[in-house]
Copies of this chain bind each other. A is one copy, B any other.
């Protein structure tokens, strides 16, 4: 078996933790597995390097920033190789130039295109644990690039795909994916297995133990993901294409408190309005989430959507500067809202899921602000103060808790 293991920054933030990771990798190796490890930079290294850059230049070039940041993973990779050596295990660290992780050109936010596996496979066949620097690649100019948020997860999945690995284990500080946030639902249950699509919906709704791009890539290349804890030996959650028809109706309940609601009121009811509005946000790099547009009347319509609270100000600023061009009457906002979602591939083939969801909220007297649905997800916007209460009510209604 060839296993790709990915350890994030908190798992390698001190020499002690690096030694723990080495012990962990050594176990699988000694059981005869071939092991390839992807590491992030130690703890706050990346943030420290960014601060260092800003102390030299207010607005550093992205190309040089990537050159700078790429050192972080090289440090942790070399240290992990040393720690494995101390365990008596042959290991070798490789950076992006050595693994040849080819990426797109865009500095700071590159995408993996291709990985030359020759060197890695040569080392693996030589029975070495290969440690690969996550988060980084080389573009066609021969320059270092970094992969942006969730970059090391992306490296791990891309490697697992290129190496045709049996599984890709993502180590985090939680035991896996739960039916609800255990801090909210005391009886939340660890999900043993979940499909890529469900995972995507859960991740995009706040449970960011795994970044969406990594899940999307895993789905595309059929890479089996395992989300598990670096701190214990629990088996974690397996993310793969699930075919079992008898599976759970609902996989989990997610709450995202970071959402703010914006309603643009009195837009002209004519073609191109939505395009102009959302194209404006896209160009400014502002992520728009749930969008609702009711049927218009009197030649006017309203469009409501949510944005992350840290982008609220920028979004409002853009709107007010473009009022004339967009021709709307007013804007109303609500910062005290939360997104509550149920996710489950089972709901596709089962009617009555939405009804049971809304009933659970009604029984608790929780008002619903907005509703949107996808094939495997139903999301509602509720008052922030109702959020946790709502999670517990829905979790109970679908009997997601421990038996």
Contacts and interface: CB of A to CB of B under 8 A. Distances in A.
| Integer count of this chain's copies in the complex | 2
Nearest to A86: B57
Interface residues of A, number: 38
Interface stretch (A60-68, A209-217, A221-229, A379-387): A60-68
Given A97-B97, A98-B142, A98-B143, A67 B78 contact: yes
Contacts of A83: 56-57
A70 interface: yes
B81 A61 contact: yes
Interface stretch (A47-55, A190-198, A261-269): A47-55
A49 B64 contact: no
Contact of A74 (B55, B61, B67, B98): B67
A18 B57 CA distance: 11
Interface string A70-111: 110011011101110110000011010110000000000000
Contact of A71 (B60, B75, B119, B142): B75
Contact of A82 (B64, B74, B81, B82): B64
Contacts of A65: 78, 82
A61 B92 CA distance: 10
Contact of A68 (B53, B57, B74): B74
A70 B77 CA distance: 13
Interface string A28-58: 0000000000000000000001001101111
A292 B66 CA distance: 56
A285 interface: no
A19 interface: yes
A58 B86 contact: yes
A58 B95 CA distance: 23
Nearest to A84: B57
A81 B64 contact: yes
Contacts of A296: none
Nearest to A100: B142
Contact of A85 (B61, B74, B92, B144): B61
A49 B65 CA distance: 21
Given A58-B86, A98-B142, 14 more contacts: A15-B52, A52-B79, A56-B83, A57-B82, A57-B86, A61-B85, A63-B92, A64-B79, A64-B92, A65-B78, A67-B95, A68-B82, A74-B74, A97-B142
